Structure 1
Amino acid sequence: MSISEAVDAAEAPGAGQLVVETTAGALRGTVRHDSHAWLGVPFAQPPVGELKWRAPQPVSPWEGVREATAYGPAAVQLSRFDPTAPPYDRDSEDCLYLNVFAPAAPAPSPRPVLVWIHGGGFVFGTGADYDGSVLAERGDVVVVTLNYRLSSWGFLHLAGVDPSVADSNVGVRDQVAALQWVRDNIAAFGGDPSRVTIVGESAGGMSVGTLLGVPAARGLFHGAVLLSGSAADQQDAATGTAAAKALLARLGIPETEPGRIRDVPLAELRAATEELAHAGGHDGRQGIPFVPVVDGDLIPYVPLAAVADGAVADVPLLVACCRDEMAIFTFMAEDNPITRSLEERTGPQAWTELLRRYEQFEPEGAAVGGNPRKTLLGDAMFVMPSIRVAEAQVRAGGKAWMHRFDHQPPMEPYNMLGPTHAADIPCLWSREPSFDLCSLSGEPADGFMDMSEADKAASAALQDAVLSLVRDGRPSLPGGPEWPAYDEKTRPQMLITAQPELAHDPTGERREAWEGITG
């Protein structure tokens, strides 16, 4: 039976729009709120067996109509930074699935496309954590959420030990493969493949920043949003190779036979990866030893340098942070691998001088309840790298806009910590009149929480900021202040609250302290 015959046979009254043809076969979706959704769509072959640590391969075609009404498994997960939490039991090495959400109402022309890359420190998370119908309906766009291989499954630099047994950066290659799938198939879902914006937060934001410097991704996206992400936090190849060798040693595998890692059972590999993460990883990445590597191949050089060279000068960027990024990282001791790494990268003398200057700033400038050390860490990890992305884009002749999320959501832990890291996520992905706590945690029992009027207004502002860039190539807030592009003279940033306001160089005192420092 041909695909078209299968589609005809599958159609029933009211179901026609739910069956679409892709390059691999026909899919039947489902209804979600006022959207149509196609869930658990494979975009590559399962990366199992000999395909572990290999670039994703094209998905095998199927006959008939494939049901796309349930999410696929998540990538193999490590701890969600909570040792008391039960183990995540919905993950698998067979994880390369994406989800498509499109408004049910017909559109006169193809819709812009928002591709969401989830965060989670490159150790946890899944596209299924996010209900794409929220933004699809509010913005009249097509939304794609995706999985990619995580931790040692996605970012083990085995190619640095022996390039014949593995490809590098397979987690990033998964993201590129998903974008190629979007290019080839999104028109069937009503999307416009020439108007694709990639959006990510935390590790997802870093993924977006990384993709800015990946030649293989050029032309696959036309806008980018980095939420608490960076284009300069990748590992160098030597560090990535050292981390790979450390994991092989924990598994008892000689460096001369790295391919034997394919025979290690999942549970054993997960345990060894957890042990390495808890030991501090490499390059000071406590809990995150495996991240994208500047391999000279997929990622030729540091993506921030690619931005500075004008590689994405034609791609509008929205770059953002939360006001008190580090408040949530209360588990970090004063002396920890991340602090030591940042101090080494910055230079001990420069770090000491920075801390001295931060201790002199007013509490408002120090943020995080006036804790200068936490503010310095947050600036080193998130705020200053974000500013550098915007600066590099502007200097290369491109356009960038910046915002800072200043609203405090009501659920834990934000009700205690304020607008800290990831506080923008519940506002970006919930619909009035309530926050969807299930979508945020992945746990169905978590339910919903009512939004206050301030929550509704701040959420609307954040959603409008992101969606306007997706639709129009520049952010704007209906009824809000004019939002100029970033420049190095006035340094405008929109402060996202229930009543957004435009600020100029709101972290200027701290930014000036970092001038001339590359850490």
Structure 2
Amino acid sequence: MSNETEMTETEAMFAAVRKAEARQFPIVETTEGKVRGLSSGRIASFKGLRYAADTSGANRFRPPQPLEPWAGVRDALDYGQIAPQIPGDRRHAYADLILNDVQPGGMGEDCLVLNLWTPDPSRRTKRPVLVRFHGGGFYGGSSNGPGGDGEMLARFGDCVVITVNHRLSALGYLYLGDEGEFADSGAAGVQDLVAALQWVARNVEAFGGDPSRVLIFGQSGGGAKVSHLLGMPSARGLFSSAGVMSGSSLVAMRRDDAATVAAQLLQRLGLKASQIRELQAVPYQTLLAAQADVEAAERSRGEAPRSFSPVLGEAIPHHPFTPGAPQESLDIPLIVSTALDERTYREVKFDMGWDEVLERFRRRVGEEAEMLLTAYRDEDPAATPFVISARMASDTTFRLGASTMLERRLAAGGAKSWAYLWASPSPAYGGRYGAVHGIDVPYAMYDIRSPLAGPTADNQRLAGEIASAWVALAATGDPNNDVTPAWDAYDLEARTTLVFGAPTEAVSDPRKFFREYWSSRRG
């Protein structure tokens, strides 16, 4: 065999290897530069993609700043940084169930990153895009943990899945006054979300997504973030449908309240709001320690800690859903949901008795306590005192917020909205938490390995149902599909709600008595 032939065979083998490499490590050109991902099981992932500049130093407290373009290829093979925060406390059993202590990527202010999963990282197709914002209020969490993995949903729904990190707590929401270049510092964290959606609009087509079919959704704090985006003028046109899971946020923080919270923090730091340069130079570790000190002092006085959250201003010109639904998103199809036993996640007295529950009811409703407790027990005779106590708290917080959001959308003549109630309980710890806060997240991501769920046949069914609904909403603007039971839009007559359970079924005004009772006491 000649040397020329040998070279040809060698070159052919090398060319085959390069093709295999291109499939295994796909390269996509974004508007800022090229990025390299990793393919596994026919889903390509791109992790730690920057959508805006580092927020440290001179960029701290500013709106997100644009990325500088780069030459060559950047690896997107692992997670980027998470926002500075105090990690989850594992002394609380619920914290282990949501795995908030498992957040790879390291902590830092270069945290404006997103993660993307796609079946085809090319422009050949235009798949629906699902953008999920993580929970943890406005103070904690990230999209880097197991609950934020989008691979299974991208494969199941043949869609592009994106999860987002952004600034939290004081670094995202420290109010520094009404004037000057930092006048909207109290909304920096939600402005990050807008910047992420702008990145999606510019770049998702290169990853196989359709920029005209973008769903934004999130649970708990993620739902609160969606609530705010629904009323932000700068977010208009960046998404086509939305979902608020157990996070209906009706109001933003007023500037006078934000000033009080900021003053407490600044006092701990020995600084004033006008000392911007000094504030920008404070290590983030010092800021976090000062926050923790303020919260500890409030608890010692028997007060509930007031955390940092989005503040009214130019970016957030009005409350999200008060006094009514925002005009900016009346044309956006919307799903609003709750879980039956949301508040069990905040309770720790699992062995409480009925006398203690009755006393809690008395403190809330006075002489109607016995009647109300009987109604709760009759609804679910197998429920423990612990669950019934938390269910009442769920009805007066999460559920009341969700029904108010839906009613205000209807009053404003908004696009179709749908409601669901997650009633299937978590099996964790013998089922003691019931259908706890966050229970629907792993199912929505079609990833039931979470400790809240578990790989059973029935859980696989539930995951298929809810994931199909989210993908359908992203694709068509309507959650109805071939897997989930037929689901009418919400109205004030039927109040049709999809109840996820065994079986999943559409129910007219489920738990009507409790909705009407607590609505009548809203004032």
TM-score normalised over the length of structure 1: 0.84
| Matching residue of 2:308 | 290
| Matching residue of 1:362 | 376
Rounded to whole Å, the distance in 1 between the matches of 2:258 and 2:378 is 38
Moved more, 98-107 or 244-253: 98-107
| Matching residue of 1:98 | 114
Shift of 1:503: 1.3
The structure 1 residue matched to 2:32, chosen from 24, 35, 38, is: 24
Question: Aligned partner of 1:187: which letter?
Answer: E
Confirm or deny that 1:176 pairs with 2:204.
no
1:40-94, Cα deviation, whole Å (9 max, x unpaired) = 1110000000111110001111101111111101111223244589797821111
Confirm or deny that 1:237 pairs with 2:251.
no
Shift of 1:272: 1.2
Secondary structure at 1:14 match in 2: helix
Task: Tell me how many residue pairs correspond in the alignment.
Answer: 482
1:307-361, Cα deviation, whole Å (9 max, x unpaired) = 635432211001111111111111599xxxxxxxxxxxxxx99966886774453
Which structure has the bigger radius of gyration? 2
The structure 1 residue matched to 2:223, chosen from 205, 211, 215, is: 205
| Matching residue of 2:135 | 119
1:64 to 1:123, Cα distance in 2 relative to 1, 3 A: same
1:149 to 1:370, Cα distance in 2 relative to 1, 3 A: same
Matches within 5 A, 1:466-477: 466-477=470-481
Rounded to whole Å, the distance in 2 between the matches of 1:288 and 1:31 is 43
Question: Aligned partner of 1:486: which letter?
Answer: Y
| Matching residue of 1:314 | 331
1:253-278, Cα deviation, whole Å (9 max, x unpaired) = 23553553222222221111122234
Question: Aligned partner of 2:510: which letter?
Answer: P
| Matching residue of 1:336 | none
Secondary structure at 1:272 match in 2: helix
| Matching residue of 1:303 | 320
Matches within 5 A, 1:363-442: 363=377, 365=379, 369-370=384-385, 373-397=389-413, 398-411=415-428, 415-431=431-447, 435-436=449-450
Rounded to whole Å, the distance in 1 between the matches of 2:76 and 2:402 is 37
CA contact (8 A) 2:176 2:182 kept: no
CA contact (8 A) 1:461 1:498 kept: no
Rounded to whole Å, the distance in 2 between the matches of 1:24 and 1:319 is 35
1:70 to 1:517, Cα distance in 2 relative to 1, 3 A: same
Secondary structure at 1:41 match in 2: strand
Confirm or deny that 1:141 pairs with 2:159.
yes
Rounded to whole Å, the distance in 1 between the matches of 2:342 and 2:410 is 24
Rounded to whole Å, the distance in 1 between the matches of 2:22 and 2:347 is 51
Q: Superposition RMSD on alpha carbons, in Å?
A: 3.2
Structure 1 unpaired stretches of 5+: 1-8, 334-347, 441-448
| Matching residue of 1:4 | none
Matches within 5 A, 1:213-292: 213-257=231-275, 259-280=277-298, 286=304, 289-292=307-310
Shift of 1:376: 3.6
Rounded to whole Å, the distance in 1 between the matches of 2:34 and 2:51 is 13
TM-score normalised over the length of structure 2: 0.84
Shift of 1:288: 5.7
Secondary structure at 1:206 match in 2: helix
CA contact (8 A) 1:116 1:146 kept: yes
Moved more, 364-373 or 136-145: 364-373
Rounded to whole Å, the distance in 2 between the matches of 1:87 and 1:269 is 22
Secondary structure at 2:186 match in 1: coil
Shift of 1:155: 1.6
CA contact (8 A) 2:320 2:326 kept: no
Moved more, 190-199 or 108-117: 108-117
Rounded to whole Å, the distance in 1 between the matches of 2:368 and 2:290 is 37
Shift of 1:425: 1.7
Structure 2 unpaired stretches of 5+: 1-14, 96-100, 351-361
Rounded to whole Å, the distance in 2 between the matches of 1:404 and 1:497 is 9
Rounded to whole Å, the distance in 1 between the matches of 2:35 and 2:462 is 37
Confirm or deny that 1:508 pairs with 2:508.
no
Secondary structure at 2:167 match in 1: coil
Q: Percent identity?
A: 33
| Matching residue of 2:3 | none
| Matching residue of 2:354 | none
Shift of 1:218: 0.4
1:194 to 1:479, Cα distance in 2 relative to 1, 3 A: closer
The structure 2 residue matched to 1:495, chosen from 490, 499, 502, is: 499
